[in-house]
């Protein structure tokens, strides 16, 4: 399709209308305050979810219940903020989940890209050192596999809401798309550094992953593709390959793997998230995403053309020019009044009488 009005990350080019409140000092300050409120509410909701997980479930169900409670708290809290602060009529949809045509296809595209990134990261590990894989045939373990899938669906959905939902959108209105992208990418990378076993490589990989997912949101104005990428990137490594994800290796109940390559390829006790291979692959995935979302970026980010000037009747103007070039038209004669009297007939002219013949001589 035609060229987009956005730059590489999907942010508006000069001349494109900015979000409401972007240029207003009062509006920008208000959005900064709402952004800080969203971040504070995230930490509060996470603390409440952890206490709920400890008090309401056993240790084996605790991670799933904790993420479920956190999802509900975030959905309710951010929807209330959208309704009260920004008068949003449909806060769930406006936070990045519009129920528009093709949303399932967008989600599938994200899953495909996330799966591809995971496979490309695993291949060097398999080629250089190899992976020892053990598959469980117990039926109960396959039941837990479904629970693992649900866990990653909720976990990645929570991350999309926190790092690209209401808070991000408030910061975007205040600092612009690029500023909001960098701030939230740094925020996500710092949180990942708090996980045991993290390193400089894990910080860089987390930062680039956040850039990739935020680019997906900015170019589509929805979280469907980003959610698919995030889910496939994490779940495929844990469930299908049985690898460690963010320092946790107990996700998969069916496939258990032991990487035997160097830690520079395996990430050690942190997993592939802590390798420079993941950093490079995720970085290379950004232009792939940009290419994949070209049409969606044009559809959802192109500036609205507002008509201006004066209305002009082109047909009437052309007809007027034609008549001017052809000269004035000859108007037909029109009889205005009817004839009052009949036309008098002229009198007939009688021929002169013939003279009598002259008498003849005898």
Mean per-residue pLDDT, 247-261: 75
Confidence of residue 279 (pLDDT cuts 50, 70, 90): very high
Q: What are the beta bridge partners of residue 257?
A: 133
pLDDT at 47: 95
Q: Which of 15-24, 47-56, 314-323 has the highest mean pLDDT?
A: 47-56
Mean per-residue pLDDT, 240-251: 80
- Token pair, residue 314, equals 């082109």
The helix or strand, by DSSP H or E, that contains position 355, with its residue range, turns out to be none
3 state DSSP class of 6: strand
Note the residue count of the chain. 362
Who's near 14: CB < 8 A, 6+ residues apart? none
- Token pair, residue 146, equals 């479904």
Confidence of residue 16 (pLDDT cuts 50, 70, 90): very low
pLDDT at 80: 93
305-349 pLDDT, tens digit each: 655 555 556 666 667 766 666 666 555 555 565 555 555 555 555
Pick 262 or 222 by higher pLDDT.
222
**Could you tell me which of 100, 52, 96 has the C-alpha nearest to residue 75?**
96
pLDDT at 330: 57
Q: Are 227 and 104 in contact (CB under 8 A)?
A: no
CA atoms of 279 and 263, how far apart (whole Å) = 14
* Least confidently predicted of 99-108, 248-257, 264-273: 248-257
199-237 pLDDT, tens digit each: 999 999 999 999 999 999 999 999 999 999 999 999 999
Pick 242 or 250 by higher pLDDT.
242
* Least confidently predicted of 5-19, 185-199, 233-247, 293-307: 5-19
CA atoms of 53 and 56, how far apart (whole Å) = 5
CA atoms of 126 and 185, how far apart (whole Å) = 30
**Could you tell me which of 189, 228, 237, 190 has the C-alpha nearest to residue 211?**
189
User: Angle at CA 285, nearest 5°, toward 106 and 98?
Assistant: 25
Who's near 192: CB < 8 A, 6+ residues apart? 198, 202, 203, 206, 246, 273
Q: What are the beta bridge partners of residue 133?
A: 257
Pick 328 or 105 by higher pLDDT.
105
pLDDT > 90 fraction of the chain, expressed in percent and rounded: 48
C-alpha separations of 140 from 28, 63, 143, 145, 251 in Å: 54, 19, 5, 9, 15
- Report residue 6: phi and psi, to 5°: -110, 160
Confidence of residue 362 (pLDDT cuts 50, 70, 90): very low
pLDDT greater than 80 at residue 161 = yes
CA atoms of 335 and 234, how far apart (whole Å) = 93
pLDDT greater than 90 at residue 88 = no
User: Angle at CA 102, nearest 5°, toward 11 and 207?
Assistant: 40
pLDDT greater than 70 at residue 304 = no
Beta strand segments in 211-302, E: 255-259
- Residue for token pair 């949180």: 191
pLDDT at 348: 56
Confidence of residue 4 (pLDDT cuts 50, 70, 90): very low
Helix (H) and strand (E) counts in the chain? 12, 2
pLDDT at 346: 52
CA atoms of 286 and 101, how far apart (whole Å) = 24
Q: Which of 49-53, 136-140, 355-359 has the highest mean pLDDT?
A: 49-53
Beta strand segments in 52-184, E: 131-135
- Token pair, residue 335, equals 């009889």
pLDDT at 15: 38
């Amino acid at each position: 399709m035609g060229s987009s009005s956005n730059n590489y990350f999907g942010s508006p080019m000069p001349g494109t209308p900015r979000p409401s409140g972007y240029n207003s000092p009062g509006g920008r300050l208000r959005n900064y305050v709402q952004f800080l409120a969203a971040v504070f509410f995230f930490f509060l909701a996470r603390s409440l979810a952890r206490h709920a997980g400890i008090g309401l479930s056993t240790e084996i169900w605790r991670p799933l219940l904790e993420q479920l409670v956190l999802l509900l708290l975030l959905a309710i809290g951010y929807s209330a903020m959208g309704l009260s602060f920004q008068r949003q009529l449909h806060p769930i949809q406006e936070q990045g989940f519009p129920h528009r045509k093709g949303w399932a296809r967008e989600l599938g595209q994200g899953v495909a890209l996330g799966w591809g990134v995971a496979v490309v990261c695993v291949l060097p590990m398999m080629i250089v050192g190899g992976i020892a894989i053990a598959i469980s045939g117990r039926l109960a373990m396959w039941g837990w596999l479904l629970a693992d899938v649900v866990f990653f669906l909720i976990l990645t959905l929570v991350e999309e809401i926190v790092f690209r939902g209401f808070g991000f959108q408030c910061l975007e209105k205040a600092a612009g798309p690029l500023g909001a992208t960098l701030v939230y990418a740094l925020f996500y990378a710092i949180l990942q550094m708090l996980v045991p076993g993290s390193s400089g490589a894990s910080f860089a990989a987390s930062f680039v992953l956040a850039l990739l997912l935020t680019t997906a949101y900015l170019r589509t104005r929805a979280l469907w593709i980003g959610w698919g990428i995030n889910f496939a990137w994490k779940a495929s490594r844990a469930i299908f390959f049985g690898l460690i994800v963010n320092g946790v290796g107990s996700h998969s109940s069916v496939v258990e793997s032991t990487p035997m390559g160097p830690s520079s390829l395996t990430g050690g006790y942190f997993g592939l998230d802590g390798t420079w291979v993941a950093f490079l692959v995720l970085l290379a995935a950004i232009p792939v995403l940009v290419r994949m979302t070209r049409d969606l970026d044009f559809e959802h980010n192109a500036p609205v053309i507002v008509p201006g000037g004066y209305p002009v009747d082109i047909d009437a103007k052309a007809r007027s020019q034609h008549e001017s070039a052809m000269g004035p038209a000859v108007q037909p004669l029109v009889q205005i009044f009817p004839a009052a009297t009949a036309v008098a007939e002229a009198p007939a002219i009688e021929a002169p009488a013939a003279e009598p013949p002259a008498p003849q001589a005898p």
